[in-house]
Amino acid sequence: MAAMETSPPPTEAPLAGDGAIRRPGLHGSWPEMTYAGVLSFMRRTYTRELAGADVVVSGVPLDIATTYRPGARLGPAAIRAASVQLAELKPFPWGFDPFETLAVVDAGDCWLDPHHPHTVPGAIRDHARRILASGARMLTFGGDHFITYPLLQAHAERLGQPLALIHFDAHCDTWPDDSPDALNHGTMFYKAVREGLIDPAHSVQIGIRTWNDDFMGLHVLDAPTVHARGADWTLRQVLAIVGDRPAYVTFDIDCLDPAHAPGTGTPVAGGLSSAQALHIVRGLVPLHLAGMDVVEVAPPYDHADITALAAAHVACDLLCVLAAQRRARG
Burial 297-330 (b: 16+ CB within 10 A, else e): bbbebbeebbbbbbbbbbbbbbbbbbbbbebeee
Q: In this structure, which long-range contacts are made by residues 187-191, counting pairs with CB atoms below 8 Å and at least 24 apart in sequence? A: 188/145, 188/146, 188/148, 188/149, 188/152, 189/165, 189/216, 189/218, 190/216, 191/149
Q: What residues form the annotated binding site for Mn(2+)?
A: 145, 169, 171, 173, 252, 254
The SS3 assignment for 204 reads strand
The whole-angstrom separation of Cα 94 and Cα 327 is 12
The whole-angstrom separation of Cα 215 and Cα 243 is 20
The whole-angstrom separation of Cα 152 and Cα 148 is 6
The distance from CA 61 to its chain's CA centroid, rounded to whole angstroms, is 13
Q: What residues form the annotated binding site?
A: 145, 169, 171, 173, 252, 254
Q: Are 136 and 50 in contact (CB under 8 A)?
A: yes
The type of residue at 219 is: H
198 forms beta bridges with: 163
The distance from CA 261 to its chain's CA centroid, rounded to whole angstroms, is 15
